Structure 1
Amino acid sequence: MEDLLSDVDSKYTLVILSAKRARQINSYFSQLGEGVAEFMPPQVPLRADRAPKALSIALQEVADGTISYERTADGIK
């Protein structure tokens, strides 16, 4: 957990960032069979023998630094 917090500015940012990315990953997998490519696929290697949860994938992406975020309002910390 401490490793993840070093990549973001607060624990609240980590929660929001990983939750939004997990929703994107869920949407990606649900649209996969429909041929719609609206969301970016997971950016970490997936193991074929077990399917990780979307939140686990999102947290791994944060830990690896493959996703980033940008503050939209100044002065919010």
Structure 2
Amino acid sequence: MAGPSKSLVLDPALQKYYELNANRYKYFRWSPRHAWLSFVYMALIPGTLGYLAYKTEGKFELRGKRKGDPVSEW
């Protein structure tokens, strides 16, 4: 009973989408929008996160209180 069905009809719109998605690199063109998004995701966001991590390194004690630790930090 298992196996390909002869009555299976594939949706042509989905087939076209799958084909386009598999060959996306053939249709890609650089545009100002693509350049800006690439800069944001590859340079601006990692750079900002790195800067914030560098500036706040060692400023916070994230370990929770344990039995025997004093309540006040200072």
TM-score after normalising by structure 1: 0.30
TM-score after normalising by structure 2: 0.31
